[in-house]
Structure 1
Amino acid sequence: MHSDAPVAWRGPLWALSILLALLGMLGPFAIDTYLPAFPAIAAGLNATPLQMQQTLSAYLFAFAFMALFHGSLSDSFGRRPVVLWGLGIFTLASAGCALSPTIGWLVFFRALQGLSAGGGIVVARAVIRDLFPQAQAQKVMSQVTIFFGIAPAIAPMMGGWVSEHLPWQSVFWLLTAIAALLLLTNWRLLPESLPRERRQPLHLGHLMRGYWQLGTNPRFVLLALASGVPFNGMFLYVLAAPAFLGEHLHLQPGQFFWFFLLNILGIMGGAWLSGRMAGKVAPKRQIRHGFVIMLAMVLLNLGANLLFTPHVAWAMLPICIFSLGWALMVPVITLLVLDLVPARRGMASSLQAFVGSTANGFVAGVIAPLVMHSTVGMAAASLLMMLIGLVAWIWLHHRWPEIGRNVT
């Protein structure tokens, strides 16, 4: 924590948590809000299903690509400029989506949205660790996770209501308004947490060496896999919600909110527990608790779907408790990632976000379409993605047992 931290933020921690969480929510919100409008957009622009899928893929891969650079740019120019420029570009890109006359223009502006949307979540993590020592940073990170977890749950509901009652362009005008409001709020309130004397020179050779050193650091790679991939054990069901909830559980679209509400409660519960454990429970123990919960839930989910016909009375519950386990451990792993290279926290956050968003894009574009019409297939895919994270953590724990051992 730098010496100016008490001056940089004068308000309560929960207010800063909400501000940073809203920045982090913008990226996933821009995905989930427009998914319910797919049929209306396709009809309005005379687009094929493949072309509509390209609007999602363009966003996800642009997001993943630019996530590599947001944090590094903030290491050199400061946190505030990267956030404000990103929000400004996202606002214009959202308006461009609403005004798109053809599907080609929509794909272009969705890619521009993706390029600008990642700045919030990447830089927000670095801001937290800039301002606070580890235990307090974990509390703030946990609060951010609470609010961040709301985005993939409420966005489809908002998008569904807007697309049902208004023209499809209204979804993107909604995103334009949200981004413009965030831009104004952050311009007035967001503190600059990186003093000029701690900024890194923006030289290509220096930057490439930093990426190489971090990307070839096995501790970083394993931590990034442990935090970024298991999220998709839950996110898969969000992406496949129309098939999972409508086709398999026979719910009406107006009843989908129960699933999203349960996921919100799971994420909020896990993040709340993580904040309560900060400074009291060793990070590695907290991570172990999270993985135990997730492993138990994916095994229960797979077994139940193999033995029984899925029913609304039980099919959603394991996924929601899985969300609790993920939210319990991810704030801790994120702080361990940032502390690997204190001088390059922005770059570390960028690369961590790149791993996670690449996994999200692969699940959205490849895994979800393959398994969404089988509850056993979805449960098996959820287990596989959780196991990737678990194996990464076990390997890390075995090779460097000292990581996360001390309570600070």
Structure 2
Amino acid sequence: MNPDAATLWRAPRWALAVLLACLGMLGPFSIDTYLPAFTGIARSIGATPVEMQQTLSAYLFGFAVMNLFHGALADSFGRRPVILGGIAAFTIASAGCALAEHIGPLVFWRAVQGMSAGAGVVVSRAVIRDMFPPADAQRVMSQVTIYFGVAPAVAPMVGGFLFVHVGWHSIFWFLTGVGVLLFTANWRLLPETLHASQRQAFELRHLMRGYWQLGGNPRFLLLALASGIPFNGMFLYVLSAPVFLGDLLGLRPEQFFWFFVLTIAGIMGGAFASGRLAGRIKPRHQIRHGFVIMLAVSLLNLGLNLAFDAQAWWALWPIAVFAFGWALMVPVVTLLVLDLVPERRGMASSLQAFIGSVANGLVAGLVAPLVMHSTVALALASLLMMGVGIVAWMVVKPQVRELTDLGARAGG
């Protein structure tokens, strides 16, 4: 924690949470706003469906690769320059997408968008831990998750409205405007939270040695798996939504919003509960509560799908409860990851985000296509991915017991 934290931010804590949540929203907004216009863009620029898919793949690839470096750069040059540089690059890339008239430039600028959009979400985690002791950091992390949960619900509606009433170019001009506003807000409000004594030398050999040591740390890898893999138990349903909601549950497209509303409500509710529990119970107990909720509802979900034909009125609720359990425990696990290497919190955040991005990509490309046509297969796959998280946590829990107890005492 920065020893000068008390003098760096004098506004209410929730205001910093809003600012950091807006940085994290760049990622989902960059994807979800343009998805409603996918087909329309293809017609406008004469692109095939495969070529349009490359605009998404280029973004995700750039996002995953640069996640490895945003935090490490922030450990050397400071949090503020990396965040401002990322927003500036995102803003330029968004304008480039708006001006693109052919698939080649659109793919290129989407890749640049992906490379820059992750700076906010990665570095903001380090900013939180720079500024607050463990229990307070958990509360702020939970607030960020609550505000962040709004983005996936709002972005498709904004994108769809702009596409229908103004045209697809307006979606990227909207993102350009978002970038300008965020750059201005962070330029004026965001302090440099990395203390001068905690800066790391930017030297390639030193950097690679840090990655090697962190990547070879069993506690880090197990904690990253404990937070990232269970997320995919929920994300699997998001990836399979058109088939799951339309073909299996028989919902009309205009009814799909119920799935997203319930899931996002679960995330926001879990994050709110996580913040309320911070400093009141031991962190490892809160993690246990989250896993118990996810395990119970996953078993119930599988049992219901084995026993009955899936119906929308009951099939959506288990996913929302699962999301609640995940959001209840993930702020705590994220802080444990950051506190494993206090001198390299940016790098830890980067590598954790990279592992999560790779897991998301594997689930999207390999798992979802195999199971999306069966509610039983979806429920079983979700249970198994949550099970990976439980096993990882059970193995690492004795090794982080002292760290969680220290966090609880610091917040008490």
Give TM-score, length-normalised by structure 2: 0.95
Distance in 1, matches of 2:403 and 2:384, equals 25
Aligned twin of 1:224: 224
Alpha carbons of 1:163 and 1:252: their partners in 2 closer, same or farther (altered >3 Å)?
farther
SS in structure 1 opposite 2:340?
coil
Aligned twin of 2:63: 63
Contact 1:57 1:361 in 2 (8 A): no
Distance in 1, matches of 2:226 and 2:248, equals 30
Contact 1:61 1:358 in 2 (8 A): no
Cα deviation 1:14-63 (Å, max 9, x = unaligned): 11101111111211221222222222122222222222222212111211
Aligned twin of 1:373: 373
SS in structure 1 opposite 2:313?
coil
Cα deviation 1:322-381 (Å, max 9, x = unaligned): 110011000000110010111111001111111111112222333333333332232222
SS in structure 1 opposite 2:314?
coil
* Unpaired runs of at least 5, structure 1: none
Distance in 1, matches of 2:44 and 2:368, equals 25
Distance in 2, matches of 1:381 and 1:27, equals 26
SS in structure 1 opposite 2:47?
coil
Deviation at 1:398, TM superposition (A): 4.9
* Unpaired runs of at least 5, structure 2: none
> Structure 1 or 2: larger helix share?
2
Alpha carbons of 1:355 and 1:150: their partners in 2 closer, same or farther (altered >3 Å)?
same
Contact 1:305 1:379 in 2 (8 A): yes
Deviation at 1:160, TM superposition (A): 2.9
The one-letter amino acid of 1:132's match is F
Alpha carbons of 1:370 and 1:166: their partners in 2 closer, same or farther (altered >3 Å)?
farther
Deviation at 1:250, TM superposition (A): 2.6
Distance in 2, matches of 1:326 and 1:157, equals 25
Aligned twin of 1:103: 103
Distance in 2, matches of 1:165 and 1:239, equals 27
The one-letter amino acid of 2:142's match is S
The one-letter amino acid of 1:201's match is A
Alpha carbons of 1:399 and 1:11: their partners in 2 closer, same or farther (altered >3 Å)?
closer
Cα deviation 1:130-158 (Å, max 9, x = unaligned): 01111111111111111122222322233
Q: CA RMSD in A?
A: 1.6
Aligned twin of 2:270: 270
Distance in 2, matches of 1:93 and 1:287, equals 39
SS in structure 2 opposite 1:290?
helix
Aligned twin of 2:136: 136
Aligned twin of 1:342: 342
Deviation at 1:292, TM superposition (A): 1.0
SS in structure 2 opposite 1:250?
coil
The one-letter amino acid of 1:63's match is F
The one-letter amino acid of 1:130's match is D
Cα deviation 1:191-235 (Å, max 9, x = unaligned): 110122321110111111111111100000000111112112222
Aligned twin of 1:38: 38
Contact 1:266 1:324 in 2 (8 A): yes
How much identity, in percent, do the aligned residues show?
Answer: 67
The answer to whether residue 261 in structure 2 is matched with residue 257 in structure 1 is: no
Distance in 1, matches of 2:390 and 2:54, equals 32
Contact 1:69 1:350 in 2 (8 A): yes
Distance in 2, matches of 1:251 and 1:163, equals 24
Alpha carbons of 1:101 and 1:324: their partners in 2 closer, same or farther (altered >3 Å)?
same
Cα deviation 1:148-195 (Å, max 9, x = unaligned): 222223222332333333322222222222122111111111111012
TM alignment of 1:5-404, pairs within 5 A: 5-398=5-398, 401-404=401-404
Deviation at 1:268, TM superposition (A): 1.3
Cα deviation 1:270-327 (Å, max 9, x = unaligned): 1111111111111111001101111122222222222222222111101111110011
Give TM-score, length-normalised by structure 1: 0.95
The one-letter amino acid of 2:12's match is P
Q: How many residues align?
A: 408
Contact 2:3 2:195 in 1 (8 A): no
Distance in 2, matches of 1:282 and 1:143, equals 19
Contact 2:139 2:274 in 1 (8 A): yes
